[in-house]
């Protein structure tokens, strides 16, 4: 079915969703990373970017929060750019684990590959793959420049968060060394883990994340800067990864109830991609049991419902002025 939605409808849907979800309670800030425990739990932002570059931002959309696991999407794109879809499938994988993001059990179960670049194991492997190999600074430049291109503006590490994560990432150290025993770390192990920790500690805004989401929805063409950041053939690959594991063990429930592939991070951010239509992001620190922001989930679901959109709805959507 052809479906036309006006920009005014989108603006109202975002504003209403924000107002309806603003006072939702429940959930807790992540506290296994001490820095995150102290972020104001009332912060809340909701942002949509359309494929012509139009943006709708409501609430705390310029607050810089820890990107955390949403960074996995951006670096998965980088290794897809550097190696192509086939090599990423071979060297990392594209399967949902059905288990928490930091699961060691998942690695033991699938020791032939780290499952997907969107859980901790696969993301550490992805950092190990980033070119130029063996050059920590060069690799970091590649990672952060890719962030800038996808988000349309620069982002920096929050030093305090980086220190907090580095001091407490014992589980991730186990993951990295376990992967090494399966020959799934393709560079120096401590360097690969450090790059992963650093990318998780980048401060990002909801408005930057929605531009990144829109770049994916727009087949790699950043709708704000007009830069073709990655080859269009990679867009369905990255959206597949997001669809299958973006919310870890609750991904199926999420996709079933929201209708939009999305990726969360324990900093409270969520990035959602509706291919050919828009990018959306929301940010609010309190998380549910699986580590996904309670308010961000509610807000994105509300926007989708109000606009009657869904990736599997079978509609041809046109946005009109
Ligand atoms: N840096 C966090 C970790 O490695 C990211 C986890 C997340 O956002 N789900 O545990």
Give me the CATH number covering residue 288: 3.40.710.10
Same domain, 38 and 95: no
Same domain, 47 and 157: no
Same domain, 17 and 56: yes
pLDDT at 255: 98
Same domain, 107 and 48: no
Q: 6 C-alpha to center of ligand 1: Å?
A: 37
pLDDT at 101: 92
| Number of compact structural domains in the chain | 2
Backbone dihedral angles phi then psi of residue 290, each to the nearest 5 degrees: -85, -5
Beta strands in 120-268 (DSSP E): 203-204, 262-264
- How many Cβ atoms sit within 10 Å of the Cβ of residue 318? 12
Same domain, 193 and 218: no
pLDDT at 1: 84
Residue 255 lies in a domain: yes
Residue 124 lies in a domain: yes
Strands 278-283, 269-274: pairing is antiparallel
pLDDT at 97: 87
Same domain, 155 and 75: yes
CA-proximal residue: ligand 1, atom 2 (nearest): 68
pLDDT at 15: 98
For residue 165, the ligand 1 atom closest to its alpha carbon is: 1
Same domain, 144 and 171: yes
Residue 206 lies in a domain: no
Ligand 1 environment, Cβ below 6 A: 68-69, 101-102, 120, 165, 172, 200, 265-266, 291
Residue 183 lies in a domain: yes
Same domain, 193 and 258: no
The pTM score is 0.98
- Helix or strand (DSSP H, E) at 283: strand 278-283
Residue 156 lies in a domain: yes
Residue 38 lies in a domain: yes
pLDDT at 262: 98
pLDDT at 113: 78
Same domain, 112 and 156: yes
Same domain, 89 and 53: no
pLDDT in 10s for each residue of the chain, 321 residues: 899 999 999 999 999 999 999 999 999 999 999 999 999 999 999 999 999 999 999 999 999 999 999 999 999 999 999 999 999 999 999 999 888 899 999 998 887 778 899 999 999 999 999 999 999 999 999 999 999 999 999 999 999 999 999 999 999 999 999 999 999 999 999 999 999 999 999 999 999 999 999 999 999 999 999 999 999 999 999 999 999 999 999 999 999 999 999 999 999 999 999 999 999 999 999 999 999 999 999 999 999 999 999 999 999 999 999
Domain hosting residue 151, numbered range: 69-200
**CA proximity to 244, closest of 121, 97, 111:** 97
Same domain, 124 and 172: yes
Q: 181 C-alpha to center of ligand 1: Å?
A: 22
pLDDT at 111: 73
Concatenating the DSSP letter of every residue in 220-256 gives TB-TTT--B-S-GGGHHHHHHHHHHHTTGGGHHHHHH
């Amino acid at each position: 079915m052809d479906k036309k939605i006006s920009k005014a409808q989108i603006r109202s849907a975002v504003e209403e969703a924000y107002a309806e979800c603003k006072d939702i309670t429940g959930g807790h800030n992540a506290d296994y990373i001490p820095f995150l425990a102290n972020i104001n739990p009332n912060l809340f932002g909701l942002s949509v970017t359309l494929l012509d570059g139009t943006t709708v931002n409501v609430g705390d959309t310029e607050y810089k929060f820890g990107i955390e696991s949403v960074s996995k999407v951006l670096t998965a794109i980088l290794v897809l750019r550097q190696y192509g879809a086939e090599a990423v499938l071979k060297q990392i994988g594209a399967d949902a684990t059905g288990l928490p993001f930091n699961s060691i059990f998942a690695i033991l179960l699938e020791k032939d590959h780290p499952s997907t670049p969107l859980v901790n194991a696969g993301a550490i492997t992805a950092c190990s793959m980033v070119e130029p190999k063996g050059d920590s600074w060069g690799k970091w430049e590649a990672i952060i420049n890719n962030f800038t291109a996808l988000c349309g503006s620069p982002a920096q590490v929050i030093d305090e968060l980086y220190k907090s994560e580095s001091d407490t990432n014992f589980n991730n150290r186990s993951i990295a060394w376990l992967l090494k025993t399966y020959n799934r770390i393709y560079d120096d192990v401590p360097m690969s883990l450090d790059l992963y920790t650093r990318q998780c500690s980048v401060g990002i805004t909801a408005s930057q994340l929605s531009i990144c989401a829109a770049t994916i929805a727009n087949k790699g063409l950043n709708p704000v800067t007009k830069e073709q950041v990655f080859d269009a053939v990679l867009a369905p690959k990255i959206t597949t990864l997001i669809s299958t594991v973006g919310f870890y063990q609750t991904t199926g429930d999420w996709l079933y109830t929201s209708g939009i592939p999305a990726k969360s991070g324990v900093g409270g951010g969520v990035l959602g991609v509706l291919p050919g239509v828009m990018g959306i992001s929301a940010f609010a620190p309190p998380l549910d049991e699986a580590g996904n922001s309670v308010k961000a989930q509610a807000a994105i679901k509300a926007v989708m419902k109000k606009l009657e959109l869904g990736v599997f709805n079978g509609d041809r959507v046109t946005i009109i002025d």
